Amino acid sequence: MWLANKSIVDWIRNYFDKKNSLIAYLRFQGTDFQTNSNAFFTSQPTDNDIRESKITPITKNNLIEMCIYLAVRQCIELTWLNNRDQFLFPNDGYKSDDIFKNNCIVFMLFHGQNKISSTHGINHWIPFTEKEVGAREKFESNFMSNFLKGRTLSGEAAAVLDAGKELWKYYHATIKNNKTASANASFYDIREYFQGRKESGTMNTKSTDETYNALLAVLRGALKMLTMKIQPRAYEYGFLKE
């Protein structure tokens, strides 16, 4: 049910799930564009975020809604014009739009605010099978590839998955003889592996591996096209006012 003058947080609270098996956490804060950088997926929340109740579990039962929440918050760039625009309680239109739901899932699998890492537990967010990417060993979890199986994807979402698969394949080909590199790597882990970190601890924006840079550029181009499919639905379904 649509509720006027309610925020997106009021909506997402309807999908909090503390009963089923955990696959990650949503870190949420604020309801406007200027707080979007504080909203992300993680596999290890900070003690402070736990103490201040800024996180909620993601499970198989609320994965779709969690991806919608983060996708609509991340699909439009922050500007000085929109920085105080509020994200709102949506109407019911999105509930029957499976393409929109699947677009949001794929979008968040490959977005920079997906900070899930295999270094903090089992990575349930690998969208491909071992055979598809040439992994040297069985993944600890096939949850996400099974979750995506049989779903109808837009051409844009399919293009993102295809580009992502090429990146995963290159990673697994690169680490085939490197036993210290994780076969269960997430998108975040793959970026960290190739890009490394500065002395400050922040991840470098580029890699010295030009093949990786090229594959990432293709993926980001496909993700940009998918973003354009999600943006108008964010307004149509009332997550944002035009």
pLDDT 10s digits, 3-32:
557 999 999 999 999 999 999 999 999 999
How many Å separate Cα 161 from the centre of its chain?
A: 13
- pLDDT of 4 reads 58
Sheet hosting strand 40-42, strand order edge to edge: 40-42, 24-27, 55-58
- Contact (Cβ atoms closer than 8 angstroms) between residue 219 and residue 157: no
Confidence of residue 56 (pLDDT cuts 50, 70, 90): very high
Q: What is the tens place of the pLDDT at every residue in 146-165?
A: 999 999 999 999 999 999 99
Burial of 217 (0-12, 13-18, 19+ CB in 10 A): exposed
Across the range 202-225, mean pLDDT stands at: 97
- pLDDT of 152 reads 97
